[in-house]
Amino acid sequence: MERQQGEEMTENVKRFHKWRLVGGFIMAALLLVGILYYAFANKVQLQRVTRNLQQRVAKGEISGQVTVGAPEGILASLQDMLAGCEVKKLGLVHPAGDARRAGCEYFLAESEVPERELQDTGYVLASRRGEYWLYKTIMEEGDWMITQYGSVSGLQSMSYALVSEDGRFILLDGGHYVDMVHLRSLIETYGDRVDLWICSHFHEDHIGAITQLLAQQGDNTQRLDYVTIQELWCPPMDIDTYKTFAKEWDSIDTCETFLSEIADLDKVTRVNTGEAKKVGNLEFLFFSAYADDAPWTHEGNNCGFIFQVKGKSETMLFCCDVGNEWISERLVSIFGDMLKSDYVQMGHHGNGGLTEEAYRIVAPKAAFFDGPAWLFQDEEKYTAAKNRRLMESMGCEIMLLDDAPNSILLK
C-alpha cells in the first residue's frame, strides 16, 4: 500500500514538473511574442507619427537639411526612417528646451511635453501615435520669440525672455524676489544657461529675482542647479551715485546686493547711450542709459535703458521704466523716426512713461503693459488707462500682465 502511494506521488511530481516545464515554455513564448509585438507596434507607431515629415522630406517640400531631435532609445530607428535628416539626441527632462538649443525643426518625445514648456520654447504638437509625440517649431530661420511673463506678487513687474530659433536665450530683468522660482524653472528648460541677461535698472520689481538667484547660488559652480550667465548688460550707474539720488521708493539694498553679486561674474558690460550691439542676427540700439552729464537720468527709473531690438524685418522698442517729458523730447529730437517700431513695451509699466508724441512716432501694432489690473482702475492716480486708450486708438493690440505669458514672433 505504501509502495503504491509512493509510486503515485512520484508520478504526480513528474507530471507537475512536466506541466511546469510546458508552462514555462508557454510563458517564454508569450513573452517573446509580446516583446516582438511591442517592438513591431512601436516601430509602426514611430513610422506613423513621422509619416507626414517623411513624405515632405522625400518630396523636397522642406528646403535644406531638417534637424530632428529624439531621446537616445529611438535615435537609430529614426535615422533609418528619416534618411537625409540630421538627428540629434535630446535629454528626457526638458526635450523642448534641448531641441531649441539644438536648433531642431522637429522633435520626438516619449511622453507629452507640458504646454507651458512648449510655449516657452516655440513648439506645437504636429502629431501623436501611441507613445510618441511629434512636435514642430513655429519659428523660421532668424526669428526671435519674445515673451512677457507675469508676477506672483500681484504687483507691477517686468520679465521678458528673447529666444532665437537656433536656441539663443536672453532674459530681460526677471521680476521680484518671489518670481525667482518660476524664473529658475524657465532657465532650467534651457539647460541652466543664460546667454545674455539684460538688467534695465536697479529696482526690486526688475532685478529682485536675479539678485535672489545670484545670492543663493553664490560661486558654488559644483551645484547641480548652478545657473551660468554668459554675459550681463546693465546701466553704468554705481551704488554711490545711486544712493545720492535715491528716492524713498528706490531699492537701495537690492541695488547694493545686485552690484555686489555681479562683480563676481565673468563678463559684465555697462552699456551707454548710443551704443549698438548684436546677438546672433538680433541688433540692439540703446537710445537711453544713465549718463553723468544728463541730470534727468539721475533717478532710479530714468537711469535705466530704453533700447530697440531689430530682427530680420521687424523691431521692438523696450522703454523699461524710463519716461518723462524731458527724456521724451530728447528721444524725439535726437532719434526721431528711428523710434518707429512694430512692437513696444510701455514705459514704466504703462503708468507714466513716454509722451503721446513719442508713442505716436513709435506707432506700434502691439503694446505690452507690465502692470496689473488695479493700475488701470484709478484714473485720478495712474495714467495706465489713459495710455491704454491712446494705444488702442492707434490700432494696437494690447498685451496685459494679468494675461501673461504673452508672446510675439519678431521676424
Indicate if 265 and 400 belong to the same structural domain.
yes
Q: In three state form, how does the secondary structure of 209-253 look?
A: HHHHHHHHHCCCCCCCCCCEECCEEECCCCHHHHHHHCCCCCCHH
Separation of alpha carbons 216 and 180, rounded Å:
11
Q: Would you call 182 helix, strand, or coil by DSSP?
A: helix
Determine the pLDDT at residue 34.
41
Indicate if 64 and 151 belong to the same structural domain.
no
Calculate the CA 67 to chain-centre distance.
20
The pTM (predicted TM-score) of the whole model is 0.88
Cell of 4: 503504491
Please determine, for residue 40, whether its predicted confidence score (pLDDT) is greater than 60: no
Range in 39-48, 170-179, 208-217, 392-401 the model is least confident about: 39-48
* Chain segment 87-139, per-residue pLDDT in tens: 999 999 999 999 999 999 999 999 999 999 999 999 999 999 888 999 999 99
Query: Are 49 and 127 a contacting pair, CB within 8 Å?
Result: yes
Determine the pLDDT at residue 326.
85
Query: Are 251 and 272 a contacting pair, CB within 8 Å?
Result: no
Please determine, for residue 57, whether its predicted confidence score (pLDDT) is greater than 80: no
Determine the pLDDT at residue 81.
83
Cell of 95: 526635450
Indicate if 153 and 294 belong to the same structural domain.
yes
Indicate if 327 and 204 belong to the same structural domain.
yes
Number of structural domains in the chain: 2
Q: What is the CATH number of the domain that holds 190?
A: 3.60.15.10
Write 323-328 long-range contacts (CB < 8 A, 24+).
323/347, 323/348, 323/352, 323/353, 323/354, 324/296, 324/352, 325/355, 326/296, 327/288, 327/296, 327/297, 327/302, 327/354, 328/354, 328/355, 328/357, 328/358
Domain boundary among 138, 165, 181: 138
Please determine, for residue 9, whether its predicted confidence score (pLDDT) is greater than 70: no
Indicate if 237 and 339 belong to the same structural domain.
yes
Range of the domain at 71: 1-138
* Chain segment 101-115, per-residue pLDDT in tens: 999 999 999 999 999
* Chain segment 257-266, per-residue pLDDT in tens: 999 999 989 9
Please determine, for residue 33, whether its predicted confidence score (pLDDT) is greater than 50: no
Please determine, for residue 244, whether its predicted confidence score (pLDDT) is greater than 90: no
Cell of 223: 551645484
Cell of 403: 494675461
**What's the chain's Rg over C-alpha atoms?**
29
Of the pLDDT bands very low, low, confident and very high (cuts 50, 70, 90), residue 72 is very high
DSSP string for residues in 98-127: HHHHTT-SEEEESSPPPHHHHHHHTEEEEE
Strand order in the sheet with 397-400: 276-279, 282-288, 306-310, 315-318, 343-345, 366-369, 397-400
Separation of alpha carbons 221 and 90, rounded Å:
24
Highest mean pLDDT among 21-25, 26-30, 217-221, 226-230: 226-230
- What rounded mean pLDDT belongs to the chain? 88
* Chain segment 260-283, per-residue pLDDT in tens: 999 989 999 999 999 999 999 999
Beta strands in 111-177 (DSSP E): 123-129, 132-137, 144-148, 159-164, 169-173
Indicate if 320 and 172 belong to the same structural domain.
yes
Nearest-10 Cα torsion for 353, 400, 179, 92: -130
For residue 123, list its beta bridge partners.
137
Determine the pLDDT at residue 3.
57
Domain boundary among 107, 138, 169: 138
Of the pLDDT bands very low, low, confident and very high (cuts 50, 70, 90), residue 35 is very low
Indicate if 322 and 224 belong to the same structural domain.
yes
CB atoms closer than 10 angstroms to residue 350: 29
Domain boundary among 91, 121, 138: 138
Query: Are 188 and 94 a contacting pair, CB within 8 Å?
Result: yes
Indicate if 350 and 397 belong to the same structural domain.
yes
Of the pLDDT bands very low, low, confident and very high (cuts 50, 70, 90), residue 225 is confident
Separation of alpha carbons 297 and 353, rounded Å:
13
Q: Which backbone phi and psi does 142 adopt, to 5 degrees?
A: 90, -10
Of the pLDDT bands very low, low, confident and very high (cuts 50, 70, 90), residue 59 is low
Q: Would you call 184 helix, strand, or coil by DSSP?
A: helix
Determine the pLDDT at residue 51.
80
Indicate if 249 and 332 belong to the same structural domain.
yes
Determine the pLDDT at residue 313.
98
Indicate if 199 and 254 belong to the same structural domain.
yes
Indicate if 361 and 229 belong to the same structural domain.
yes
